[in-house]
């Protein structure tokens, strides 16, 4: 079967697009010390780059709710990938040629944030629209590539800097920029089809807002993002400050092991999804996530606490993709707008969670144990939503459909 007809190529291109998102989210922070030394930027200015990337991705994801269907999935993804490539490449020159280095970095971040927002909003509906029998497995697999991309960026960049020095970071930036550039070309040729069958119309934004089940899914997406990033963002600092281990051990046993177990969780679920019930797996994952947070906080020995940190990655692995798949089953006519809109509370949870941990920790004298204990609220809330969905919403919907009514 040719490239233009084989949907396996579509899945491969979507996998690479999540590697692109990992690159645009994780590469620049590795350069913050260099930016601070070379350009004289303050930490508050560097943190603005993270905020700008986060909010611009959210804005682009929201815009895709309306534009992706009009422009076509293919054109939207090609534009997004090329913007990511341009942003990464221009990051090497704009700080030198614009009036101020911060302005140059912000312009570069704005460009690659477009690509990150497109990936967040459009990749999942493209996968959902593919004619695969095991769509839940495909969704879990494609999201696992963010984890593999995160590990590749952190480990690959660290190795490059050790071998060639941090001053040669521009070469590595161009290498990473080649990934979205080539993927954009790949997207020009792979087959795609609309998520909503011809002759049917999606619900649209207002139609989705009228459905109570959509808001239930939105709350679960927020909790999924927060459950993941509360630990992911603070694991290294927690290991160093609260557990007293060396920084390099905290980095490897924290974010890297977290990403490894999350990627394995998503990949293994994709392999065995036909034998597993998605809702039961999500419920079990939330319960395990709560246990992992409690283990990290209350374990009497540092190795056991680090194991709790890493276990959070395994537990949170299928939450994000699992909610997408659950929403697709619950709202069959949700269309692209549903995936784009659900990405917003998910991203908001990714940003809210780490800030929430920091605020709680500061109340207790910068005690990260207190912050991470409070973070267990998010998987607990998601567990409550899942139990209501399974034992409250689904039986009621079945009863309504049996009477020939509509859900409302």
94 confidence band (pLDDT: 50, 70, 90) = very high
| HSE-up (13 A, CA, CB side) for residue 224 | 27
CA–CA dist 187, 189 (Å, integer):
5
Within this chain, do residues 142 and 261 fall inside the same structural domain, yes or no? no
Asked if 178 and 85 count as a contact pair (C-beta separation under 8 A), the reply is yes
Q: Name the pLDDT band for 294 (thresholds 50, 70, 90).
A: very high
- The pLDDT of residue 199 is 54
- Residue 352 is part of a domain; what is its CATH number? 1.20.1250.20
pLDDT band for 124, please (50, 70, 90 cuts): confident
Residue 404, pLDDT > 70, answer no
Structure token digits, residue 379: 């998987």
**Domain count along the chain:** 2
Task: Return the residue matching tokens 């590469």.
Answer: 27
Token pair belonging to 64 = 């895709």
State how far the Cα of 220 lies from the Cα of 385, in Å rounded to an integer: 7
Same domain, 48 and 110: yes
Contact call for residues 28 and 46 (beta carbons, < 8 A): no
340 plus 261 within the same structural domain: yes
Residues 34 and 143 in one domain: yes
Q: pLDDT category, 128, cuts 50, 70, 90?
A: confident
Q: What is the mean pLDDT of residues 314-322?
A: 90
* Mean pLDDT, the chain, whole residue set: 85
Q: Are residues 125 and 144 in the same domain?
A: yes
| Same structural domain, 303 and 365 | yes
Full domain range(s) for residue 248: 199-408
Q: Assess whether pLDDT exceeds 80 at residue 218.
A: yes
- Dihedrals φ, ψ of 197, to 5°? -60, 150
What b/e string do you get for 50-79 counting C-beta neighbours within 10 Å, with b at 16 or more? eeebbebbbebbbbbbebbbeeebbebbbb
Cα 256 to Cα 327: distance, rounded to the nearest angstrom: 30
Closest C-alpha to 247, from 255, 296, 163: 255
List, as own/partner pairs, every contact residues 168-171 make where C-beta atoms lie below 8 angstroms and the sequence separation is at least 24, other chains included.
169/31, 169/34, 170/92
**Average confidence (pLDDT) over 371-388:** 94
Average pLDDT over every residue of 19-47: 82
Give the integer Cα–Cα distance in Å for 336 and 194: 9
Tokens for 59? 């804005």
216: pLDDT strictly greater than 80: yes
Does 189 share its domain with 244?
no
Report the C-alpha gap between 390 and 393 in whole angstroms: 6
- C-alpha 327/C-alpha 333 separation (Å) is 10
Q: Are 344 and 358 part of one and the same domain? A: yes
Distance CA 46, CA 29 (A): 8
Which of 137, 166, 195 is a domain's end point? 195
Arithmetic mean of pLDDT, 47-64: 83
Pick the closest to residue 340 from 140, 135, 13, 70 (CA basis).
70
144 shares its domain with 231: no
* The token pair that represents 276 in the structure block: 């597993």
| 260/147 Cα distance (integer angstroms) | 7
Of the candidates 238, 229, 282, the residue with the CA atom closest to the CA atom of residue 259:
229
Same domain, 182 and 91: yes
- Kindly state whether residues 168 and 290 are assigned to the same domain: no
Range with lowest mean pLDDT among 12-26, 57-71, 245-259, 269-283: 245-259
Q: What is the DSSP string of 311-358?
A: HHHHHHTTHHHHHHHHHHHH-TT-HHHHHHHHHHHHHHHHHHHHHHHH
- 3-state percent helix, strand, coil for the chain, nearest multiple of 5: 85, 0, 15
pLDDT band at 408; cut points 50, 70, 90: very low
Model pLDDT for residues 228-245, shown as the tens digit of each residue: 888 877 776 777 666 666
Read off the tokens for 218: 């939105």
Q: Which of 131, 166, 195 is the last residue of a domain?
A: 195
- Express as a percent the part of the chain with pLDDT over 90: 33
The domain boundary, picked from 195, 229, 248, lies at 195
- What's residue 232's pLDDT? 77
pLDDT for position 256: 76
Same domain, 190 and 333: no
Question: Which is more confident, 405 or 84?
Answer: 84
CA atoms within 13 A on the CB side of 186: 19
């Amino acid at each position: 079967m040719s490239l233009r007809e084989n949907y396996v190529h579509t899945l491969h291109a979507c996998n690479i697009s999540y590697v692109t998102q990992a690159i645009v989210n994780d590469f620049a922070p590795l350069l913050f010390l260099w930016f601070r030394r070379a350009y004289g930027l303050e930490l508050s200015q560097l943190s603005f780059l993270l905020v700008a990337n986060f909010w611009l991705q959210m804005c682009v994801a929201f815009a895709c709710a309306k534009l992706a269907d009009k422009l076509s999935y293919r054109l939207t993804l090609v534009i997004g990938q090329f913007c990511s490539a341009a942003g990464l490449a221009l990051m090497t020159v704009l700080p030198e040629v614009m009036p101020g280095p911060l302005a140059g970095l912000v312009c570069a971040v704005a460009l690659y944030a477009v690509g990150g927002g497109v990936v967040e909003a459009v990749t999942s509906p493209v996968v959902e629209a593919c004619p695969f029998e095991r769509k839940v497995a495909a969704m879990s697999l494609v999201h696992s590539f963010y984890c593999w991309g995160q590990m590749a960026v952190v480990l690959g960049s660290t190795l490059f800097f050790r071998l060639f020095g941090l001053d040669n970071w521009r070469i590595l930036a161009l290498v990473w920029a080649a990934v979205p550039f080539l993927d954009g070309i790949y997207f020009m040729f792979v087959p795609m089809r609309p998520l909503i069958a011809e002759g049917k119309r999606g619900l649209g934004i207002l139609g989705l807002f009228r459905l109570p089940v959509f808001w239930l899914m939105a709350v679960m997406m927020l909790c999924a993002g927060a459950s993941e990033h509360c630990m992911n963002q603070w694991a290294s600092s927690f290991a160093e400050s609260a557990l007293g281990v060396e920084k390099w051990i905290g980095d490897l046993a924290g974010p890297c092991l977290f990403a490894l177990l999350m990627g394995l969780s998503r990949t293994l679920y994709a392999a065995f999804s036909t034998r597993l019930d998605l809702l039961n797996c999500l419920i079990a994952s939330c319960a395990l996530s709560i246990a992992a947070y409690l283990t990290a906080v209350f374990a009497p020995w540092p190795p056991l606490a680090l194991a709790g940190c890493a276990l959070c990655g395994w537990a949170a692995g299928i939450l994000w993709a699992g909610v997408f798949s659950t929403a697709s089953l619950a709202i069959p006519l949700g269309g692209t707008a549903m995936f784009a809109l659900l990405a917003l509370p998910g991203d908001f949870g990714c940003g809210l969670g780490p800030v929430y941990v920091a605020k709680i920790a500061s109340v207790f004298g910068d005690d990260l144990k207190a912050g991470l204990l409070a973070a267990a609220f998010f998987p607990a809330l998601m567990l409550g939503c899942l139990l209501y969905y399974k034992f409250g919403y689904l039986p009621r919907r079945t009863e309504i459909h049996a009477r020939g009514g509509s859900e409302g």
